[in-house]
Amino acid sequence: MADDNSMSIVNLGKLSKPADTLIKKVSSAIGGVFEPWQTKRVAKAEAEANLIKAKSEIEITDLHHRAMHRFVEEEANRQENMEQITKKAFPKLEDKSDPSKMDDDWVTNFFDKSRIVSDSEMQDLWASVLAGESNSPGSYSKRTVNFLGDLDKKDAELFVAICRFGWIFGDFTPLIFDTQASIYNDIGINFSTLSHLDSIGLIQFNDLSGFIRQGLPKKFTVSYYGQPLPLLMKNEENNKLIIGKVLLTQVGRELASVCQAQGVDGFVDYVKEQWKQFLPETENT
């Protein structure tokens, strides 16, 4: 936690227009969160002022002192968390971003859920959601924010792992063909972990029949972390393609857009083997 002589993030150099607008939006929605410090943090100063006032009205006991101390420390920590998340969102803002268009209720709910998050990596995830909503208001539902508030770090890491197998078909879709294959198991994706992600609402997992993408044209291209793969189907239209055992839920799709996942070495070749009957001759060589 920063000490009493810390400077507010609004004083950390010249901010871009979107960052300045974000600070104003957040402060307006949840009440002056980013006002500069003088000699003490705002939360601590207000709490101490209340304590001084209380001394003239009641006898302050040790219990009162401990309760007030706890309150001051909790509020200071929450203040620090909210400011860190907002600060981390700045580099992710687009030049055209207009955070003023964000819904006030969404902002209030966002910080109500995120203010207790102190883990740096989880703050990064929250910051990505805040920046994403700032860049395109309406991208992240309140339901997704509430879900993120209940998501622990272990589950977040597991979800990032499954996103490492995600391909673009228009939508982002993890391709999980065999829950016993080492390419998945080596990074923690197996029947048990997929069942868990299904139970908490991030994916739909069907280990029996899997899922099929229908209505596909004869020729189209999918991609894996920037690497395109053209496919050639048998019919002129209305083709089908097996896409594995997993689909993302709405919450999963929204969170996948902010996961800092990286591709898996060898996975393109693995997928080519699954779809080898649909590869053009140039991809089979």
CA count, 13 A, side-chain hemisphere, 19: 18
Report the DSSP beta bridge partners of residue 229.
222
Residue 128 Cα distances to 30, 124, 211, 222, angstroms: 19, 6, 30, 25
What whole-number distance in Å separates Cα of residue 175 and Cα of residue 182? 14
pLDDT of residue 281: 76
| 283 CA to centre of own chain | 35
Stretch 209-214: mean pLDDT, rounded?
A: 94
Q: What is the pLDDT of residues 171-209, one digit of tens each?
A: 899 999 999 999 999 999 999 999 999 999 999 999 999
Report the DSSP beta bridge partners of residue 216.
239
β-strand pairing of 246-248 with 203-205: antiparallel
Under 8 Å CB-to-CB from 161, ≥6 apart: which residues? 187, 188, 189, 261
Q: What is the pLDDT of residues 233-279, one digit of tens each?
A: 999 999 999 999 999 999 999 999 998 899 999 999 999 999 999 99
**pTM of the shown model:** 0.78
Q: What is the pLDDT of residues 147-167, one digit of tens each?
A: 999 999 999 999 999 999 999
DSSP line for 125-191? HHHHHHHHHHHSTTSS-HHHHHHHHH--HHHHHHHHHHHTTEEEESEEEE----TT-HHHHTTT-SH
| 273 CA to centre of own chain | 32
What whole-number distance in Å separates Cα of residue 153 and Cα of residue 151? 7
pLDDT at 10 over 50: no
